């Protein structure tokens, strides 16, 4: 499992880098050929890829597709097993629409709780005046599609593949926790995370890992991931690290409580730690 885990990480990082570098390089070459200086061409190309609605949405969609292809490759080629939608939580069931709604509501609830907690603790938050929400309806929808595709791409890799196999090999506790730590620390590649943010992220993704283990629905966690990222990045609210830490800790406690209640109610003993 160790070498497969390393392979997953390498494929994930390579895909994330190439999906950004290749479009930037191609656009920059085109601009240089049309008379722009190379430094300006690279800066312009980077702005287009990361900020242009059409380009960024296309990159997000490709990110989601690459995540699916990575998992398909690992299952079919490396493990030499049959790929099924159920194996990664993407089989459509009668309760899948409910799982999608739960993902949206969970993200909204956490976001509102973080903003309110920040106000209680003295962190400033933007006014609810629509003019300062920071985004129009079309741009908000575009960013939602972007983050939804990226969310599903990341979730199918880390919850649908990595967590499932770590839980199978070790235990629910260690499998979920190890996946959450790994997923959080990988964000250090793009962002400089403080210890508080790392701890907060581990608790949040452990919560999502628990919910995925209970539901086996990638629709729930994928929609949550996409909705939460949209709210955090599209709306002009200041979100404090400490308020996020408190809310994520509470969410984790609730998720553990739900898990224990379901285990007790079903009479199933949890895997040994």
For the chain, the structural domain boundaries read 1-83, 85-273
The model's pLDDT over 124-165, given as tens digits with 9 standing for 90+, comes to 554 444 444 556 777 788 889 889 999 999 999 999 999 999
Q: Is residue 24 pLDDT above 90, yes or no?
A: no
The model's pLDDT over 62-84, given as tens digits with 9 standing for 90+, comes to 888 899 999 999 999 999 999 99
- DSSP secondary structure letters along 117-181: HHHHHT-----S-GGGSS--HHHHHHHHHHHHHHHHHHHHHIIIIIIHHHHHHS-HHHHHHHHHH
Contact by Cβ (8 Å): 254, 214: no
The model's pLDDT over 235-250, given as tens digits with 9 standing for 90+, comes to 777 777 888 999 999 9
Contacts of 150 (CB under 8 A, 6+ apart): 60, 63, 64, 225, 226, 229
**What is the pTM assigned to this prediction?**
0.86
Torsion angles phi and psi, residue 79, rounded to 5: -85, -20
CB half-sphere exposure, 192, CA atoms < 13 A: 0
CA atoms of 186 and 197, how far apart (whole Å): 13
């Amino acid at each position: 499992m160790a070498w497969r885990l390393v392979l997953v990480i390498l494929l994930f990082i390579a895909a994330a880098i190439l999906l950004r570098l290749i479009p930037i390089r191609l656009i920059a070459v085109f601009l240089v050929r049309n008379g722009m200086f190379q430094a300006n061409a690279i800066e312009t190309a980077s702005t287009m890829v990361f900020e242009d609605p059409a380009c960024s949405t296309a990159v997000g969609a490709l990110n989601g597709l690459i995540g699916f292809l990575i998992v398909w490759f690992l299952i079919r080629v490396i493990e030499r097993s049959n790929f099924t939608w159920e194996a990664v939580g993407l089989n459509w069931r009668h309760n899948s629409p409910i799982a999608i709604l739960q993902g949206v509501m969970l993200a909204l609830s956490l976001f509102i709780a973080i903003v309110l907690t920040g106000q209680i603790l003295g962190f400033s938050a933007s006014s609810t005046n629509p003019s300062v929400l920071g985004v129009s309806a079309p741009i908000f929808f575009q960013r939602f599609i972007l983050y939804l595709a990226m969310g599903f791409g990341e979730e199918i890799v880390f919850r649908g593949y990595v967590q499932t196999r770590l839980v199978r090999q070790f235990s629910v506790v260690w499998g979920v926790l190890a996946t959450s730590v790994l997923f959080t620390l990988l964000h250090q590649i793009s962002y400089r995370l403080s210890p508080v943010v790392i701890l907060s992220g581990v608790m949040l993704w452990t919560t999502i890992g628990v919910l995925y283990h209970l539901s086996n629905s990638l629709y729930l966690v994928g929609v949550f991931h996409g909705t939460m990222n949209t709210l955090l990045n599209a709306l002009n609210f200041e979100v404090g690290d400490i308020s996020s830490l408190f809310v994520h800790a509470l969410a984790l406690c609730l998720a553990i409580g739900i898990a224990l209640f379901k285990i007790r109610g079903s009479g199933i003993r949890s895997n040994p730690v």
